[in-house]
Structure 1
Amino acid sequence: MSGTLLTPDSRPRAGVRPTGTSFVGLVGVELRRLWWRRMAKVVLVAVVAFVGVSAYAAYQQTRPEALAERIDDYSSIVAETTRQNASIPADEKAAQIEACQRDQAASGADASGGGPGDFRCEQMFDPPSPAAFGIVAAERTAITSSIVESGVWIFGFLAFILGASFVAAEFAAGSMGNWLTFEPRRLRVGTSKLVAAGIGGLAVGALGVGLAALGATLVTTVNRPGADLPIAEAPIVPGDTAGQSLLRVVVIVALGGLGGAVIGLLLRSTAGVIGLVVGWLVLVEGFIANAFAEGRLQPWFLRTNIQGFVSDGTTYFATRCGADGCQSVSMPHSYTASWTYLIVVTVLGVAAALATFRARDVT
């Protein structure tokens, strides 16, 4: 009788239930599958091409020859502006400055809770500064930020399509059902795919930022103006501010990859994902956000919050009507409100995708 009682350790090895692959192992498998997809190579080429074209454009704009041409144009404009200002009577100048100051005060009174903006009324008859005319030395951080900020939407879209196609294509090909026969715990499978898509988006963002920094370094090294060009030094962006801005771009691109996987897990069709994105951008972000409630709904849409997160706060325009009629006013949208919105949307989207994946049939 006692011989039939076996402890768990004394059972035959074949009777011990296997623990399966760890979650980290699942993520590693998904990352390898993501890398070997053809879309990953397309995204890689697209990022390299965009940064290369942007760096070449920066090179063309900061060439010493181009700077010399702008200096000649600037000198002509300064001479013409000085001649025109000399022909204006002093009392007329004073009247225009006074009118400008009244407009500035009225603008401050119309703003909701803010002080009047600086219209630079006292400098309205001064010629433009060389920096305002683009006559500045090339600066690596400024060029890097310019390339990355202009490419954040492209990087994010590429990461989104990569994540969406990575998940949705497995439903179309039938490989999702085969994969679940080896790992039947759907939450682990779905979560590992979302994590892999987020890491893929993170890699896209980091690649874009890294290539932009490399291109900016090459541009500033090659286009180093000589001492004979009277140009101003470019304003130096603090390292922590520039670094934080670039880091936020990487984060938003990573969220793009995660968002693509979430939508792919919900719709299970790459074509459906693309159709949804186009419809959302045109109908919701392009029309509804601006047409309803006089534009005051914009803080509740993705575009405004993405811009507010990347730019450490942003503004949007809404229509305000009063006794003097309707006018478009600039409204602030804070960085805190932007990242809070993005976190809430991300959590809700991930929860909905995993719940749907767990409940619906795969076939």
Structure 2
Amino acid sequence: MSRLLRVELRRFSARRLVRWAAAGTVALAVLTVVLAFVASRPASDAQVAAAHQAYESELALWESHGEEQVAQCERDEEAARQTDPGVDFGCEDMAPQLEWFLPQTPTFEAEGSSWTTSGAATVGQLAPLLLLFALVAGVTFLTAEISTGAIGLWLTFEPRRQRVYWTKAAGAALGVLPVVATAYLVMLGGAYGAYAVNGQLGPVTADTWVELAGVGGRAVVAAALVAATGAALGVLLRNAAGALGAVVVWVVVVETVAVLAVQDTQRWLVRSNVAAWVQGDLSIWLEECTTGPDGTTCQGVQETLTLAQGGLYLLGVTAVLSVLAVAVFRRRDVA
């Protein structure tokens, strides 16, 4: 088994398309570093001057009409409290503040009062993009041998089909790991360097690095599972364009339509569960409607897709498709 696996790993690394896809993945990671540098640049003098001008203009209006606005706000708040005693319109904080107008530059680690997305959070959100390489590599690794007939020749040397399939799937799963790990390190290290150069690191602590290391580790595990899933799709559909097209149609079209039709389906979408696993929990918004004397009212309810659910979901999809692929591969004519 180990000898066959070594052979498959050499074949995987020798594939030209795999090499090009690996280069493209690293290039994608470099692009995210460039975007991090642009996003972390402090506001220019012109932007600061424009913010001061807007603040002074708003402050002049407030000095003329502020008392009227506060009085109206308090009346509206009092009326709203007739039905909901907990309502707070924040009337005492209506006076314009300079920080409302100044552009907020994100930091690598979020600060308490910042509403911008931190650089570390952005790295976590972009990490699932690296799984595209794993999918492409897994699919094409199998479909290339099927389309050229190389798989049939290989079976004359190793006729045990189940053994052949699992070594090829394992070769794809292990082969993508160095590329995904390298791309993630480029993405993470480059983003940190970009924020450091611009003086926007924020309160980075050991917990920040532990969390980011967890994201990277889970991304690597997800890459192995996605590559194995891609290998299974390659065997089932026998065509790279068909397999990749089916994935695109499912994720972009089917899952989008499902969410529009029934919002509760968000918890079962592939992209949602992959994000929950890689990022470590994912918040989703569902619409909860109730019917009362005044009719039907709806409000957004936040729920969390846990890391555990995302991992089990991804593992289950990989296992089901792999078992189907093995069953088909054992019985289908490979010529």
Q: Same fold (TM over 0.5)?
A: yes
1:71 to 48, 65, 72: 48
CA displacement at 1:239 relative to structure 2: 2.3
Alignment of 1:327-342 (within 5 A): 327=298, 329-335=300-306, 336-342=308-314
| SS of equivalent to 2:225 | helix
Q: Unaligned 5+ residue runs, structure 1?
A: 1-22, 110-115, 225-231
Matched, 1:355 2:332: no
CA deviation vs aligned residue, 1:54-80 (integer Å, no higher than 9, x gap):
22222233345x454443344334434
Matched, 1:39 2:17: yes
CA displacement at 1:207 relative to structure 2: 2.0
Number of the residue aligned with 2:240: 270
Matched, 1:242 2:218: no
Number of the residue aligned with 1:146: 122
Q: Runs (4+) of structure 1 moved beyond 6 Å? A: 100-107, 116-121
Larger deviation: 278-287 or 321-330?
Answer: 321-330
Query: Contact (CA 8 Å) 2:55, 2:97: kept in 1 or not?
Result: yes
CA distance in 2, matches of 1:101, 1:52: 54
CA distance in 2, matches of 1:200, 1:104: 62
Number of the residue aligned with 2:282: 313
Q: Summarize the Cα distance change of 1:89–1:218 in structure 2 as closer, same or farther, 3 Å threshold.
A: closer
AA of the residue aligned to 1:332: E
CA displacement at 1:157 relative to structure 2: 1.8
The RMSD of aligned alpha carbons is: 3.6
Number of the residue aligned with 1:55: 33
2:60 to 76, 83, 96: 83
Number of the residue aligned with 1:12: none
CA displacement at 1:219 relative to structure 2: 2.0
Query: Contact (CA 8 Å) 2:177, 2:224: kept in 1 or not?
Result: yes
CA displacement at 1:104 relative to structure 2: 11
Query: Contact (CA 8 Å) 2:108, 2:202: kept in 1 or not?
Result: yes
CA distance in 1, matches of 2:21, 2:317: 25
Query: Contact (CA 8 Å) 1:71, 1:135: kept in 2 or not?
Result: no
Q: Summarize the Cα distance change of 1:83–1:277 in structure 2 as closer, same or farther, 3 Å threshold.
A: same
Q: Summarize the Cα distance change of 1:132–1:42 in structure 2 as closer, same or farther, 3 Å threshold.
A: farther
Structure-1-length-normalised TM-score: 0.75
Number of the residue aligned with 1:303: 271
| SS of equivalent to 1:296 | helix
Q: Unaligned 5+ residue runs, structure 2?
A: 111-117
Number of the residue aligned with 1:9: none
Q: Summarize the Cα distance change of 1:180–1:124 in structure 2 as closer, same or farther, 3 Å threshold.
A: farther
CA deviation vs aligned residue, 1:2-55 (integer Å, no higher than 9, x gap):
xxxxxxxxxxxxxxxxxxxxx222222111111111111221221222222222
CA distance in 2, matches of 1:105, 1:29: 75
Query: Contact (CA 8 Å) 2:70, 2:91: kept in 1 or not?
Result: no
Number of the residue aligned with 2:168: 193
| SS of equivalent to 2:104 | coil
Structure-2-length-normalised TM-score: 0.81
CA deviation vs aligned residue, 1:212-253 (integer Å, no higher than 9, x gap):
1332244245434xxxxxxx8624362222222232233333
Which structure would you say has the larger Rg? Answer: 1
Q: Summarize the Cα distance change of 1:343–1:219 in structure 2 as closer, same or farther, 3 Å threshold.
A: same
AA of the residue aligned to 1:313: L
Query: Contact (CA 8 Å) 1:104, 1:119: kept in 2 or not?
Result: no
AA of the residue aligned to 2:276: G
Q: Summarize the Cα distance change of 1:250–1:28 in structure 2 as closer, same or farther, 3 Å threshold.
A: same
Number of the residue aligned with 1:168: 143
Query: Contact (CA 8 Å) 2:109, 2:204: kept in 1 or not?
Result: yes
Alignment of 1:128-139 (within 5 A): 129=99, 133-135=103-105
Query: Contact (CA 8 Å) 2:108, 2:192: kept in 1 or not?
Result: no
Query: Contact (CA 8 Å) 1:81, 1:127: kept in 2 or not?
Result: no
Q: Summarize the Cα distance change of 1:220–1:333 in structure 2 as closer, same or farther, 3 Å threshold.
A: closer
CA distance in 2, matches of 1:207, 1:103: 55
Number of the residue aligned with 1:13: none
AA of the residue aligned to 1:307: A
Q: Summarize the Cα distance change of 1:27–1:328 in structure 2 as closer, same or farther, 3 Å threshold.
A: farther
Query: Contact (CA 8 Å) 1:295, 1:319: kept in 2 or not?
Result: no
CA displacement at 1:145 relative to structure 2: 4.7
CA distance in 2, matches of 1:206, 1:46: 14
Query: Contact (CA 8 Å) 1:305, 1:338: kept in 2 or not?
Result: yes
Q: Summarize the Cα distance change of 1:183–1:209 in structure 2 as closer, same or farther, 3 Å threshold.
A: same
Alignment of 1:255-266 (within 5 A): 255-266=225-236
Query: Contact (CA 8 Å) 2:137, 2:230: kept in 1 or not?
Result: yes
Query: Contact (CA 8 Å) 2:128, 2:274: kept in 1 or not?
Result: no
CA distance in 2, matches of 1:334, 1:235: 27
AA of the residue aligned to 1:284: V
Number of the residue aligned with 2:113: none
